[in-house]
Amino acid sequence: MQIMVYLLVLAAGMGLSIEAGLLGPLGELVGHFSATLAIFMIGSILLSLIMIFFAKPNLPELFKQPKWLLTGGVLGPVYVVFLTIATPIIGVGMTMTSVLLGQIGMSLVIDHYGLLGSEKRGIDPYRILAVVMIVVALWLLS
């Protein structure tokens, strides 16, 4: 089961690179905010249809949760706008490697301190080496 999860996450990561490759040119043609809005509108429509036909929506329970848990809704569009702006300027490889560095760096902080309800996992030399290797990858890609 765990290998299947890894493969799904790998596919999701590949999808993010494809999304960045699509968003850059779209943003250049129609504007960064228009491109981001289009992506989120299409995604919202698709997800709504999936929920209508395949999942039982539980929206009343969703809105009973602490409001800070919904702040991810702000982070998604900000991330997509930044992808849309960065990709034509620095390329998909540099954009996604920079995203990876930010993700890994923040993930280590979240894990180390057990933030956002996650289990504490201390930063060790291997994790530091992983961050250093991503920085080296950025340098090699530039």
Kindly report, residue by residue over 43-53, the tens digit of the pLDDT. 999 999 999 89
Of 9-13, 36-40, 68-72, the one with minimum mean pLDDT is: 68-72
Question: How much is the average pLDDT of 76-82?
Answer: 92
Q: How many residues does the chain have?
A: 142
Residue 22 to residue 118: CA distance in whole angstroms = 33
The predicted structure's pLDDT at residue 127: 95
With the C-alpha atoms ordered 13, 14, 19, 25, is the resulting torsion angle positive or negative? Answer: positive
Instruction: Assign 71 a pLDDT band (cuts: 50, 70, 90).
Output: confident
Question: How much is the average pLDDT of 69-97?
Answer: 92
CA 30 to chain centre: 22
Which of 45, 39, 41 lies closest to 81 in space, CA to CA? Answer: 39
Q: What percentage of residues in the chain have a pLDDT greater than 90?
A: 80
Question: How much is the average pLDDT of 6-27?
Answer: 93
Decide: helix, strand or coil at residue 55: coil
Residue 109 to residue 68: CA distance in whole angstroms = 19
Element (H, E) at 84: helix 72-113
For residue 115, give every residue at least 6 positions away whose Cβ sits within 8 Å of its Cβ, in sequence order, or none: 109
pTM of the predicted structure, to 2 decimals? 0.83
Torsion of the alpha carbons at 91, 34, 8 and 72, rounded to the nearest 10:
110
The predicted structure's pLDDT at residue 1: 84
Q: Domain spans of the chain?
A: 2-141
Answer whether residue 22 shows pLDDT above 90: yes
Q: What is the mean pLDDT of the chain?
A: 93
Largest CA distance in the chain: 49
